[in-house]
Amino acid sequence: MSVLDSRLAPVLDDLRERSLYRVRRSVDGAHGVQMRVDGRDCINFCSNDYLGLASDPRLAAAAMRALDRSGTGSSGSALISGYNTEHRALEEELAAFLGRPRVLLFSSGWAANVGVLKALLGRGDVVIADELNHASLIDGARASGADYQRVAHADVDGYRAALQRAALDGRFAMLVADGVFSMDGDVADLPALRQLTHQTGAALMIDDAHGLGVLGATGRGSAEHFGIEPDVLMATMGKSLGCAGGLVAGSETLIEYLVQRARTWVFSTAPPPAIAAAAREALRIIRSEPELRGRLLANIDRFVRGARDRGLPISERAVATPIQPVIVHEDARALRLSRELMERGYWVAAIRPPTVPRGTARLRITLSAAHDAAQIDGLLDALAQSLTVLDQVNP
């Protein structure tokens, strides 16, 4: 065993011992509701494909047309040779949809969050963040060199106190939060956060990866839902748009600054034009077919009502979003419950630390517009039966 392997192997053994070891499952075919996973047919209840567009043939057709025109890769960064007319058209269409002056495409949501925070913040600045923010926001804030201050989840008073301290010190502050929290499914109090930043002269950045396409009268996300406008809006195309990549929306000045200074954008190969073409088709569908969101919201309501009728331990905070966690606390119990559901034909991933805080292991159930009533009712029955089995084995 090499010196490096001898250093790493005990860590892996420890993860296995504590039920924190992670494995990948291989999907054969399209990533939709009906899936074949590791050779087993199942119904998928753990993806972020909230509108069911990831396997929509219209997106695939748009991508194939772009493949014929532009090939498979962009061949360079956007500032060198990689910026295609498909990228430009998608940025313009997203900006129009979101009602913001400009949009900038990134290779991923992670690259967007890290790139933005490192570009906009530095030593002497303050970033104030919810403790349950996505890991990319945490890493971006830490990498920026700013004074990173975490507040308790959804603690508006904690934000207020931190912002007031920063204002007294004369330091620039940015408040950063998820719009929809990815593991709990609850929604940030954006009106209160926007009011705080106005009162203190701070900036507001929202990660709306799980809100875009879901919330708001037209699917523009949590900002539309609450009628507020953050200084920086980040979202992704790998959830409701069924594609891949990140985006940042904001003012002309903000986007031009990021073009000059966001290292994860400047030094990354631009996404394939075919992905941008598929995202444009997804955006067209979202704008022209509001019934997709209607079906999603109806499915969320059916799941929540059915879970309560069966006495299942769902969160009281996540009733308005497709993310419905079932908290089981113990890591090993979450794994056993996930395996039990897979035996019954339902794929729901077990989420354990460090993705969630210690002692809050869970199943993260996600709903899609593509699910039907029978599939949702079947999952609810299987979940109730599986919990009963686990309780009998470990009363």
Question: Is position 118 annotated as part of the catalytic site?
Answer: no
From the candidates 87, 210, 225, 371, give the one annotated as an active-site residue: 210
- The reply to whether 269 sits in an annotated binding site is no
Q: What is the rounded CA–CA span in Å between residue 326 and residue 328?
A: 6
Residue 198 assigned as binding residue: no
Active-site residue, from 107, 108, 136, 182? 182
153 marked as part of a ligand binding site:
no
Residue type, 22: R
- Say if residue 197 carries a ligand binding annotation: no
328: amino acid identity, one letter: V
Q: Are 124 and 171 in contact (CB under 8 A)?
A: yes
The verdict on whether residue 87 carries a ligand-binding annotation is: no
State the Cα–Cα distance between residues 323 and 318, nearest whole angstrom.
7
> Does residue 225 have a known ligand-binding role?
no
Structural tokens at position 61? 């057709």
Q: Is 153 a catalytic residue?
A: no
Instruction: Single out the catalytic residue among 225, 239, 240, 338.
Output: 239
Is 239 an active-site residue?
Answer: yes
The catalytic site residues sit at 182, 210, 239
Annotated binding site: 22, 134, 182, 210, 236, 355
Annotated binding site for substrate: 22, 134, 355
Annotated binding site for pyridoxal 5'-phosphate: 182, 210, 236
